Structure 1
Amino acid sequence: MIKFDKVNKVFGTAERKVQAVKDVSLTIHKGEIFGIIGFSGAGKSTLLRMVNLLERPTSGRIIINDKEISTISKTDLRKLRSRIGMVFQSFNLLSSRNVEGNIAYPLKLAKVPKAERDRRVKELLQFVGLEDKAAKYPEQLSGGQKQRVGIARALATSPDILICDEATSALDPETTEEILNLLRKVNKEYNITILLITHEMHVIRSICSRVAVMEGGKVIEQGNVYDLFSNPKSRMTKTFISSILNDQLSHRLYEQLQKEHTGNFYRLIFTGNVSSRPVISQISKKYNLDFNIMYGSIHEIQDQLFGNLIVELIGLDSVVKKAVAELKEIVEVSEVLVNEG
């Protein structure tokens, strides 16, 4: 559906160049929700803007529906942009138009007949749950309602692709979940491919099937969301995951535990069916070990359970080593991480 093939984007002159995107290759499949995550300056917004050629790649190819888009004519570019909806962090609503007028605006630009415009606007107002807000102006709406208008406007021309640029970062947690549920509904009912960027890992966990992690203009890791959560490779991915799993002990707490406890601390990751098995209990009985659970959580990711425990194993070092070796055959085991930050 969307393919980035060794895409680069350079801003500035030969004397003062900034490479915002570096040799990025990604494939986004039709009908999926694909996330791109990274901190500010990672290059994710620049990459996103190249999908509809708001920014043109310096080199490399961008292919949409088997067509390389950087060489298309102005007429074909207009057609392409009509098939791509955009949802923005700051909503970008027209303050001089009411809700109905904002949603109808792209249809008016496309010269859609008024009767058809009215029908489509009514349909979208119902879809996003704002039938009673049609005559309201943006200043009269909450942040969540504004974003619903933004989504309805982006859907007005029946696009194949929906681009979301930090669509939830200006919203509170409860409203964020409502908007994510709406995006799931868009994806499911209209089979629209959604490409979103964010710096919030909980958004990726909640809605995406696959994700790419960007740092310094490069994609440093990509894959299935569950796989990245259960086995992150890069430092950056581990940082993002830790931000919502809280799977690291602070340096101060770690020092305190070392003073108060004599055992060894390990982090255990449980995936799939193993998450519901009494693994720790069975191993501790077999090796006559005591254990303390210092931290524990179970998360649902892509309809699968992901368990995360930090435990203290108490016993003879030689016995603990045997127990850990057997645990490693069942779950992922590592020495506990100390958060120096």
Structure 2
Amino acid sequence: MIKFEQVSKIFTLPNRKVNALEEVSLSVEKGEIFGVIGFSGAGKSTLLRLVNLLERPSEGRIVVNDQDVTQIRPKELRNLRRRIGMVFQTFNLFNSRTVYGNLAYPLKLAKLPKAQIDARVKELLQFVGLEDKADSYPEQLSGGQKQRVGIARALANSPDILICDEATSALDPETTEDILRLLKKVNEEYQITILLITHEMNVIRSICDRVAVMENGRVIEQGSVFDVFANPQTKTTKNFIRSVLNDQLSPKLLSKIREHHAGRLYRLVFRGGATSEPVLSRATRKHNLDYNIVYGSINELQGALFGSLIVELIGADDEVNKVVEELRTTVEVREVVDHES
């Protein structure tokens, strides 16, 4: 559906050159929700603007629907852009037009007959739950309602792809959840491929199928949401995940736990079916050890369970070692050290 092949983008400024993207390669499959996450300046927005050639790459290829967008003619590019809807952080609505007028605008540009425009606008308003707001102006709407209008407008020409640029970052948490449910509905009911960027890991966790993590213009990690959450490889990814799962110990909390638990501490990471098995009680009972669960959480990711527990194993060292080895046949086990955070 969308492929970036060794894509780089260099901006030339008066006194220097800025490498906004460096050798980025990733693919977005048809019908999936693909998230790109990174801190400000990571290159996320530049990446999005390359899809419909609002920016041209300095190097590499971008393939959309089997077309190399860097090679197509202007007329083909205009047709391609009609198949790509865009949703913005700041809504980008016409304040001088009603909700109806905002939704009708792209349809008028496409020169549809008035009857078709009326029918399409009515359908879109019903889809986003704003049937009673057709005659309202943007200033009369809440932030969530404005974004619903923005999403409806992006859907006006029945696109194949929806690009979302920080679509929820201006919204409160409850409204964010509403908009994410709407985007999921767009994906499932219209079979529209969604490429979104965000700096909020909760957005990735809530609706994305796969994710790419960006830093300094490069993709430093990518994969299914479950795999990236369950086994992050980079410090940046771990920091993003920590903000959502809250399953890591701060040095201060670890110090307090050490004061009350003299046994050896281990982190057990449970994935999928292992979360429903009594692996800990079974192993400790077999080797006549006691244990305390001192910290942990269980979360649902893409319909599967992922859990992380910090446990204290109490007993002779050789028996503790046997339990650890037995646990490692089923779950990931790491000893908690003082520098862990």
TM-score of the two chains, using structure 1 as the length reference = 0.97
Structure 2 CA distance, aligned partners of 1:242 and 1:64?
34
Give the counterpart letter for 2:24 in structure 1. V
1:50 aligns with 2:55: no
Measured after TM superposition, the shift of residue 89 of structure 1 is: 0.9
Q: Is 1:248–1:336's contact at 8 Å kept on the other side of the alignment?
A: no
Give the counterpart letter for 2:334 in structure 1. S
Q: CA RMSD in A?
A: 1.4
Measured after TM superposition, the shift of residue 317 of structure 1 is: 2.1
- Count of residue pairs brought into register by the alignment: 341
Alignment of 1:235-314 (within 5 A): 235-314=235-314
SS in 2 for 1:50: helix
1:328 aligns with 2:328: yes
Structure 2 CA distance, aligned partners of 1:338 and 1:153?
53
Show the counterpart of 1:173. 173
Q: In 2 relative to 1, CA 120–337 (structure 1 residues): closer, same or farther, beyond 3 Å?
A: farther
Show the counterpart of 1:70. 70
Measured after TM superposition, the shift of residue 318 of structure 1 is: 2.1
Q: In 2 relative to 1, CA 299–340 (structure 1 residues): closer, same or farther, beyond 3 Å?
A: closer
Alpha-carbon deviations, 1:226-251, whole Å to 9, x = none? 11111111221111111111111111
Alpha-carbon deviations, 1:175-217, whole Å to 9, x = none? 1111111111111111100000111111111111111111110
Show the counterpart of 2:218. 218
Alignment of 1:85-104 (within 5 A): 85-104=85-104
Structure 2 CA distance, aligned partners of 1:138 and 1:337?
54
Measured after TM superposition, the shift of residue 13 of structure 1 is: 4.8
Structure 2 CA distance, aligned partners of 1:12 and 1:161?
30
Structure 2 CA distance, aligned partners of 1:92 and 1:164?
12
Give the counterpart letter for 1:167 in structure 2. A
Alignment of 1:145-156 (within 5 A): 145-156=145-156
SS in 1 for 2:247: coil
Give the counterpart letter for 2:53 in structure 1. L
Measured after TM superposition, the shift of residue 14 of structure 1 is: 8.8
Tell which deviates more after alignment, 106-115 or 187-196. Answer: 106-115
SS in 2 for 1:55: coil
Show the counterpart of 1:139. 139
Alignment of 1:186-201 (within 5 A): 186-201=186-201
Structure 2 CA distance, aligned partners of 1:303 and 1:12?
45
1:29 aligns with 2:24: no
Structure 2 CA distance, aligned partners of 1:338 and 1:152?
51
Show the counterpart of 2:129. 129
Show the counterpart of 1:7. 7
Structure 2 CA distance, aligned partners of 1:172 and 1:284?
45
Q: Is 2:249–2:340's contact at 8 Å kept on the other side of the alignment?
A: no
Q: In 2 relative to 1, CA 69–152 (structure 1 residues): closer, same or farther, beyond 3 Å?
A: same
Measured after TM superposition, the shift of residue 135 of structure 1 is: 0.8
Structure 1 CA distance, aligned partners of 2:119 and 2:337?
57
Give the counterpart letter for 2:39 in structure 1. F
Unaligned stretches of 5+ residues in structure 2: none
Show the counterpart of 2:82. 82
Q: Is 1:249–1:338's contact at 8 Å kept on the other side of the alignment?
A: no
Q: Is 2:162–2:192's contact at 8 Å kept on the other side of the alignment?
A: yes
Show the counterpart of 1:106. 106
Alpha-carbon deviations, 1:58-112, whole Å to 9, x = none? 1100001111011212111111111100001111111111111111111112222
Q: Is 1:247–1:310's contact at 8 Å kept on the other side of the alignment?
A: no
Measured after TM superposition, the shift of residue 139 of structure 1 is: 1.0
SS in 1 for 2:51: coil
SS in 1 for 2:284: helix
Measured after TM superposition, the shift of residue 338 of structure 1 is: 5.8
Measured after TM superposition, the shift of residue 258 of structure 1 is: 1.4
Structure 1 CA distance, aligned partners of 2:128 and 2:338?
45
Show the counterpart of 1:232. 232
Structure 2 CA distance, aligned partners of 1:210 and 1:126?
29
SS in 1 for 2:70: helix
Structure 1 CA distance, aligned partners of 2:338 and 2:109?
56
Unaligned stretches of 5+ residues in structure 1: none
Show the counterpart of 2:115. 115
